[in-house]
Structure 1
Amino acid sequence: MPLFLVAIILGIVEGVTEFLPVSSTGHLILANALLGFDPETWKVFNVVIQLGAMLAVVVLYWRTFLAVITGLASRQPGAWRFVRNLLVAFLPAAIIGLVLHKQVEALLGSAHVVAWALIVGGIAILVVERNAGEQSIAGVAEIPLTKAVSIGFIQCLAMIPGVSRSGATILGAVSLGVERRTAAEFSFFLALPTMLGATVLELYKNRHDMGPIGLDLIGIGFVVSFIVATVVIKAFLAIVTKRGFGPFAWYRIVAGIAALAWLGIR
């Protein structure tokens, strides 16, 4: 298969899965395995194209970011709480990620870990959806400081491939009383510093050897993931508002079982 076509496929996978609670990293690992490519070869590509999906958040929520910037300039409390919550939720992943970076990297090539994490994560979503209490906190700026810190630590579970960063963030927020749409949007915004940090670290580590995947293929994946993510974010919020996270839980369980079956017979 031509490499440019692989780049397009992986870009689509990234754009579709980055903001859904189904694990984009896990799906990229499974896609590499399904296509017969070495995950190590495409590791930098898989990390960098996530910035394309991140750009979709900036474009779709530019009014929110502009309001925060102008609010910071005029010292509005809501704008400062918005930034505070993102920072304190980002720090646990940044610190723990640096400390456990080698251990996390060791898991990135394991499709079996991804498959099991998809199943367990799907069950966890169903449990949280069934047992979550009242979700009355609306608005990222209205999340209390202690809950923002807790969500940040829960996000660290996503260092296990297949767990899903957005899924861990959203479920953590919902379990702490944050309403669904706010939880989803908080996961979108929190992805920006988290993924930017991961990308900068990966590029720095591989600055002398980017591997056989050049900037042209990375550019293709970046653009494709941006376009697809822009469409998916809108659809995701509509589904979550009306039907909750149950459909994604069942998808994870079915996909995980299918992946285990395929890995067992290939």
Structure 2
Amino acid sequence: MLRKRLIGVVTVRNGWAVQSFGYRRYLPLGRPECLVENLDRWGADEILVQVIDRSAGDRVPDFDLLSRLGRLGLETPLIYGGGVASADHAVRAIQSGADRVTVDQALHRAPDEVRRMSARLGAQALIAAVPVRFADSVLRHDYLTRRCLPFGDGVPALIAERAVSELMLIDWQNEGGLTGFEPERLGELPCPDVPLILFGGFTDPAVTRRFLEQPAVAAVAVGNPFAYREHAYQTYKRAVASAALRPPMHAGPTPVEGS
């Protein structure tokens, strides 16, 4: 059986790792390198570093941060997201230490540039990241205009062309809380044949387990719950208790009754 992944997320704003609540309120956590090193040491399946003030601020990727992360000697695959708007950005991000990149605004504003990224790096290096809300239909949230818009056919076209390898759906409204996604509504997406990564509000391991049971879901990404406690990743993974996941690489501490 092909194992699914539990991705550890480090959110970066103004150069610092932060705990984020709906991308509206933030609590400082410290240097991103420290959180990334923890996730690597705990045996995370994958690490996503999302620099949220790059795409929203229409700025280039944080190559300095990527270079610092590249020098850590990580054993865990690293995904970088934030400001990847051109093929040159994507190539440089990979050269600086990322294994894969997420693409957001370029999906809608410059789809041909995404095709160029794919031609140079291969679709396996690209993840389409789309903040969404399930209302009467599936709506995408545009960070620049702060509007919810129809999902459109741009992303489904890139997926149909195999220009990207996976689609990351972001529950931007409930990020930092409890997800509003419902498993049965994933079938409403206009691109049914793509592996999904779900992110935003997966604070409850039992909810994560329900979504991992969905055939279309390849991974769930979790951020805030891993920020404060030693071995938080292994503890969460054990609590998910899904045969679809690889077992924790390190056993971690034994949970204390009533804690």
Give the TM-score normalised by the residue count of structure 2: 0.25
Which structure exhibits the higher relative contact order, with contacts defined as CA atoms closer than 8 Å and separated by 6 or more residues? Answer: 1
Rg: which structure is higher? 1
More strand by share: 2
The TM-score normalised by the length of structure 1 is: 0.25
Q: Which has the higher helix share?
A: 1
